[in-house]
Chains A and B, each alone.
Chain A
Amino acid sequence: MINIALPKGRLGEKIYDLFERAGYECPSIKEKNRKLIFENEEKGVRYFWVKPSDVSIYVERGAADIGVCGKDILAEYSPNVYELLDMKTGVCRLAVAAKKGFYDDGRHTLKVATKFVNCAKRFYAAKSRDIDIIHLNGSIEIAPILGLSDVIVDIVETGSTLKENDLEVVETIFPISARLISNKASFKFKTKEIEDLVEKVKLLLNEKEL
């Protein structure tokens, strides 16, 4: 039995569809109820929905054997897991954005508002830029408008939220997509099952690309 942690929400549903097409279906998951764990004994899979940012924790601690989460989460928390596959879905990027026309003259400490504290610190440390991190949990876009910060470091998908708030991307930090991760110990003892699953999903993804 492989335990699979999926991120709650649109991305997770898309990922489940992929797994289903790869032959790991679990019909009960589509029933409308509040259950969180779904099992298909015959196919040897058990799915559960968790908060997207928690997927890596479930996998790292072995409560889930494998899971799918965004590269942003992996880069931010650096969990000790295997990253086995780029699922090429949920594509976006982590970027620096600021009010239109903003120019960093480098004369003062740069105030950076973000959810991704570690990523932002690493990015600016590599440039030796002195920054003041402001950790926010949501509605990051509002920070530069109200003068709370000079720039924000956040996920940008289409850029329309930024545009509507009169902000623009200054710099891309790294591209993001959903990744399939595995607990290291689980991979040792369920090698065949996990490899099979990864291989089948990979084939599907390649088909899609062609």
Chain B
Amino acid sequence: MSELILKEEERISLSLRSLYKKYGYQPYKMSKFEEYDLYVTNKEFLVGDGVITFNDTDGKLLALKPDVTLSIIRNSVNAADKRKVYYDENVYRISAKTKQFKEIRQVGLECIGDVGIYDEYETVTLAAASLAEISEDFVLDVSHLGVLSAILNSVSENREFQSALMFCLAEKNVHEAESICDSFGVSEEDKKRLSILFTAYGAPQEVLEKLAPVCKGKAKAAFKKLQTLCKLLGNSKYAKKIRLDFSVVNDMNYYSDIVFKGFIDGVAEGVLSGGRYDKLMVRMGKNVGAVGFAVYLDLLEGFREEKSATDVDVLILYNEKTSITVLVKMVEKLTKKGYSVSAQTCKTGLRYGECVDLRGGNV
């Protein structure tokens, strides 16, 4: 019965929370309001969306919490130990496109502290497990910004070139990337190396094979890390659902190493997003590593929900002539049998299965 009453996104939120608890993540509850200062300095972390602000009673500028990660980092202690937390929170933003206020429900986890390869593995696996809770038709795309930036740096350290190329990469836009390379005078050999980033995606082992020859120098160290992670993931339950795809690019000012994005068949946007964000930690004065992800439950609203043809099983009509005792008994009798009932004085827009008319005192 409870499953019928729970909405799909509520059911998912419950199962995700119990999944994270199983791996020792502690619940994290936070205030709806934060000081605006926290967000001003890390505006781009919110992917272009705006923050809803208002004044505190003493005039201080506050924000309706637009993000959970930043708050967790701020409250994390700067110690060698690891802190693993999960959350289920509503956040508020101003859509960059429509300029409307929007409420987003995020469930996610963060692992902050002395983060290593095991933690990266655990986070990616939990991300895959989270998607599996939603639907078995899912894909988790993994990319590695360490590999990406090392390859880009080896071609050119020009910021303008790099950001233009990253933009094309996110769009899998090979033709535009070619013309950018031409305008920056990139050599034919480097062009070939870059094209592998664009065209190699799919099963991790296959992509790694294609990628190995172009990873030299600094890229080699990052490549080794990715290789180790992929090997571990290859033995996991979700190995077939995990793919390498360098079009997953998050802001390099915040993220380092792995980043990933999860997709569900039937939902038009990525529903899960995460990665390792050591650089954000440094920007916020914390000298430790961090990895985490969030699931955007608002995108799942109505996902796979069966449309019911009726709102209630039985509509009971009554008026001033109806004996109240008769009405009460009728409602009790029907609800006891497990029917949903709505007592009304006239037919409204409500869709019903059966109608019991008690008007005029007779059944």
Interface positions of A (Cβ within 8 A of B): 60-63, 80-86, 183-189, 191
Contact = CB atoms under 8 A, between A and B. Distances in A.
B203 to A, nearest CB: 11
Interface centre among B264, B269, B270 (most CB of A within 10 A): B269
B186 to A, nearest CB: 19
A206 B171 CA distance: 22
Given A82-B173, A185-B265, 19 more contacts: A62-B267, A62-B269, A80-B269, A82-B171, A82-B172, A82-B247, A83-B173, A84-B172, A85-B175, A86-B175, A184-B263, A184-B270, A185-B264, A186-B268, A188-B139, A188-B263, A189-B137, A189-B139, A191-B202
For B175, B263, B268, the residue with the greatest tally of chain A CB atoms inside 10 Å of its CB is B268
Contacts of A188: 139, 141, 263, 265
B8 interface: no
B176 interface: yes
> Most chain-B CB neighbours within 10 Å: which of A85, A183, A185?
A185
13 contacts: A62-B267, A62-B268, A63-B268, A81-B171, A83-B176, A85-B175, A86-B175, A184-B263, A185-B263, A186-B268, A187-B172, A188-B139, A189-B265
Nearest to B167: A78
B268 A189 contact: no
B269 A185 contact: yes
A98 B74 CA distance: 53
Interface in B234-275: 247, 263-265, 267-270
By secondary structure, the A interface counts as mixed
Contacts of B202: 191
Nearest to B178: A86
Contacts of A82: 171-173, 247
A183 B268 contact: yes
A185 B141 contact: no
Contacts of A183: 268
Contacts of B171: 81-83
B76 to A, nearest CB: 31
Nearest to B201: A191
Contacts of B268: 60-63, 183, 185-186
Interface residues of B, number: 17
B235 to A, nearest CB: 23
A39 to B, nearest CB: 19
Interface string B116-154: 000000000000000000000101010000000000000
A87 B202 CA distance: 25
B137 to A, nearest CB: 7
A63 B247 CA distance: 22
Nearest to B175: A86
A172 B175 CA distance: 20
Contacts of A187: 172
A120 to B, nearest CB: 18
B266 to A, nearest CB: 8
Contacts of A189: 137, 139, 263, 265
A185 B175 CA distance: 21
Contacts of A60: 268
Nearest to A88: B175
Given A82-B171, A83-B171, A185 B270 contact: yes
Contacts of A85: 175
A43 to B, nearest CB: 22
A183 B171 CA distance: 10
Interface in B260-303: 263-265, 267-270
A201 to B, nearest CB: 13
Nearest to B173: A83
Contact of A184 (B173, B175, B176, B269): B269
Contacts of A62: 267-269
A184 B249 CA distance: 13
A189 B136 CA distance: 12
A84 B170 CA distance: 11
A80 B173 CA distance: 12
B308 to A, nearest CB: 24
Contacts of B176: 83, 86
A185 B267 contact: yes
A30 B162 CA distance: 45
Contacts of A63: 268
Contacts of A84: 172-173
A83 B269 contact: no
